[in-house]
Structure 1
């Protein structure tokens, strides 16, 4: 479930324009090459029942590195180092790795660092003010290729505050962000992933898919 949600999030892009929510976006993203913050995630079913709740931290650095860390209730980690995406699930003792592609480059993580690059995949409308936020409504230009039906981004004075995605089956994912830090000083290994000893590494390590059991 978490992997699907992250892939849905990574598929989003936001175009640049000059209106209220877009102005919030531009003000937030001006003169930055890195961001870090906290998030809370809630997944709702078609009847608006809560399916899953979780939380953690997100970091991103231009041009295409990010770290998405779930801390509760079950830890997991997704790291994009610029070449590969690593997904570590401690409860399964498994790491999945694949080549980093356009779905990560053209993402809301990327849009926070370079919004002017990403105005091609969505029709975007100003969606007014609700819950104290300025909203953008997004509709995929190629709905048959998109993993979601629609999305909304909500901005306040601190930047991106909420992200909502709805898939074709009516499942809704809500991400609430807080504590954004602009241009933080990241540790040297923030966007480097080394598989722990004793876990299986599954996926595209080189040019072909492999399964590599690491020695204890």
Structure 2
């Protein structure tokens, strides 16, 4: 009963996160990011105040007087990193395995999901959920389908309309919209020395996205994790692995409604 409620209550949030995060998944071969960070902007926070800080997998948070030091990069370096992302967004098609954890803060409950995703520029994607329930989320850049075979139904709508405001189609097809719609912050911290973080905060308030935090592995500049928080404090954290780059069959991004399946329009 509870798991069914989570799936239905957060379905819009899930999809918004997936699509808005699309371009961020590409590896960032950012040569400009090899420069030393500007340490003129340093904030020191109590370790206990940073309970939500992403740490490397398997690394426990430490008690005591240890402090977490978050270091911001210079505006020039931030510009170099964002410019490199813009340049790379339209280059590669790729697939990856993912683990997704979605949490409803008000209810204090979470749900984990696993599967494989496929991405093709511009704006094409396919999410194949294997656990806990088989379903697919597919977009050809114009249309959006959410297919739930166990329920024998597919939700169908216009991707660009459904994900307006930079959180959907516009974000996928034009990375420059990120600068228009979000305030960007690039940082690193002393307790996670293998990564840098890109935090995106919408310039205009929206209930779907309060912030997007992206963890980038320093040595390879590959996106390892994307955490999105909405206005209610609910979070969706997606961790990526088994990333493979190369051509993808375009049929992956089209959907034919199976016989006997109900089509439900999304407004």
The Cα shift of 1:19 comes to 2.9
Partner of 1:174: 237
| Residues 1:38 and 2:97 aligned together | yes
Say if 2:152 and 2:262, in contact at 8 Å, map to a contact too.
yes
| Residues 1:149 and 2:210 aligned together | yes
The Cα shift of 1:29 comes to 2.8
Does the residue aligned with 1:179 lie in a helix, a strand or coil?
strand
The Cα shift of 1:13 comes to 8.6
Q: Tell me which moved more, 34-43 or 24-33.
A: 24-33
Partner of 2:17: 8
The Cα shift of 1:99 comes to 1.4
Q: 1:48 to 1:93 in 2, by over 3 A?
A: closer
Q: If each structure's helix is expressed as a fraction of its own residues, which one has the higher value?
A: 2
Q: If each structure's strand is expressed as a fraction of its own residues, which one has the higher value?
A: 1
TM-score normalised over the length of structure 1:
0.77
| Residues 1:201 and 2:263 aligned together | yes
User: 2:90 & 2:20 partners in 1: Cα distance?
Assistant: 24
- Matched residues, number: 199
Q: Tell me which moved more, 38-47 or 80-89.
A: 38-47
The Cα shift of 1:52 comes to 0.3
Does the residue aligned with 2:253 lie in a helix, a strand or coil?
coil
Question: Residue deviations 1:75-112, cap 9 Å, x none?
Answer: 110111122101101121101111120623234xx38x
The Cα shift of 1:25 comes to 8.5
User: 2:253 & 2:89 partners in 1: Cα distance?
Assistant: 22
The alignment's C-alpha RMSD in Å is 3.2
Partner of 1:60: 119
TM-score normalised over the length of structure 2:
0.64
Say if 2:94 and 2:247, in contact at 8 Å, map to a contact too.
no
Say if 1:86 and 1:96, in contact at 8 Å, map to a contact too.
yes
Does the residue aligned with 1:106 lie in a helix, a strand or coil?
helix
List aligned pairs for 1:59-78, cutoff 5 A.
Answer: 59-78=118-137
The Cα shift of 1:176 comes to 0.4
Q: Comparing both chains, which one has the higher relative contact order based on Cα–Cα distances under 8 Å and sequence gaps of 6 or more?
A: 1
Partner of 2:252: 190
- What stretches of structure 1 of length at least 5 have no aligned partner? 210-216
User: 1:24 & 1:119 partners in 2: Cα distance?
Assistant: 9
Work out which of the two has the higher radius of gyration on C-alpha atoms and give 1 or 2: 2
Say if 1:152 and 1:164, in contact at 8 Å, map to a contact too.
yes
Say if 2:90 and 2:122, in contact at 8 Å, map to a contact too.
no
Partner of 1:119: 179
| Residues 1:80 and 2:139 aligned together | yes
Q: 1:13 to 1:56 in 2, by over 3 A?
A: closer
Say if 2:13 and 2:208, in contact at 8 Å, map to a contact too.
no
